[in-house]
Amino acid sequence: ENILTAAAWQALEEETAAEVDAAIREAEAAPEPDAAAIGRHLFFEGTPPLQGGLRPEGALPPLGESAPQPEGRRINLIEAVRRTLEDEMTRNPRILVFGEDVGLKGGVHGATVGMQAHFGEARVFDTSLNEDGIIGRAAGMALAGLLPVPEIQFRKYADPAHEQISDLGTVRWRTAGKFAAPVVVRMPVGYARKTGDPWHSVSGEAVYAHLPGWRIAYPSNAEDAAGLLRTALRGDDPTLFFEHRALLDSREARRPYPGAEYCLPFGQAARLSEGSRLTLVTWGAMVYPALEAAAAHPGLVEVLDLRTIRPWDVEAVLSSVRKTGRLLVVHEDTRTVGFAAEIITEINAQAFEY
């Protein structure tokens, strides 16, 4: 009783073999894949997945308002991040925020101060010092229909989680849209005052731009940070949200809070100065040295802030280069295989004769 008999085992083997044979025949009969469709399902295309994701009912993303509605005083970038998280957590009960020191302490940079007391320990909590565990946990939560917002304390700390990050980005693509794992990973990056060591001052956005399925935001001011973070939280794709440490409390990055419905679309660069002789493309903390340099040459240097790395605004850069005929890209990264090389290569391919 309750013991698998030899006959039952034989039947199980035959049934399994038949299923495998049927799967092989189905695969062999399938048409050759269309190379032009290789990028399908990398990102949310409007069809709800069978497992995971934010829209099981098939609703379109509620992107909110496209124009900011400034509220009161200028705030720093880290307060803009915190207020956006608070607004969206109030609006969406599926959002969970977690990471090392994120709960009671409120994060090493103060982004989540007071949030555990307000939303409770079930939604804002600390984790162990285990970055691959943080990202792995986030992937499971997202597949279960939650919206995890993990914090990695510093960009370099994410290196042990690289395999988890890589795998998470392709969940939708490798299941042909049947599964989705939207996660918004907040990650302070770059140099800061009195900090230049190789563990706490790394930027390295190019590494993640190479991974399929991830959107990457890299704001240079508080308004853009709020708008991009809200777009990420209302989207349905894995997103890396970079917060440059030199800008978290800098005066130049302060802006009024743009309102609880402001959403800034990814892939839209900002033209910060007009110029006729040189297109200067940059993002993050390098925006402000770029503007300072441009100010020394009035009317000659056009400065573009990409705001997002994946996707980046190819058309805005092309349009400017067609006018100026020259391109300079400034990034805070190693010269070899930095993201500037990607931009220069693309523009050379499309606008070499301008």
pLDDT digits (tens, 9 = 90+) for 167-207: 999 999 999 999 999 999 999 999 887 777 888 888 889 99
Q: Is 162 a catalytic residue?
A: no
The pair phi, psi for residue 57, each rounded to 5°, is -85, -5
Measure the CA–CA gap between 78 and 80, rounded to whole angstroms: 5
The pair phi, psi for residue 262, each rounded to 5°, is -75, 125
**All domains of the chain in start order, with CATH:** 58-257 (3.40.50.970), 270-351 (3.40.50.920)
pLDDT digits (tens, 9 = 90+) for 60-111: 556 777 888 888 899 999 999 999 999 999 999 999 999 999 999 999 999 9
Exposed/middle/buried for 228, CB within 10 Å: 0-12, 13-18, 19+?
buried
At 42, which amino acid appears? L
The tokens of 276 are what? 């006729």
pLDDT of residue 193: 79
The tokens of 34 are what? 């269309």
The tokens of 285 are what? 């903390």
pLDDT of residue 73: 94
pLDDT of residue 111: 96
Measure the CA–CA gap between 317 and 182, rounded to whole angstroms: 29
At 154, which amino acid appears? F
pLDDT of residue 61: 57
Name the catalytic one among 41, 109, 200, 331: 200
Measure the CA–CA gap between 110 and 44, rounded to whole angstroms: 32
Other C-beta atoms closer than 10 Å to the C-beta of 211 total 18
Quick one: how far is CA 146 from the chain centroid? 17
pLDDT of residue 310: 97
Question: For tokens 């042909």, what's the residue?
Answer: 176
Low-confidence ranges of the chain (pLDDT < 70): 1, 55-62
The pair phi, psi for residue 280, each rounded to 5°, is -115, 115
pLDDT of residue 60: 54
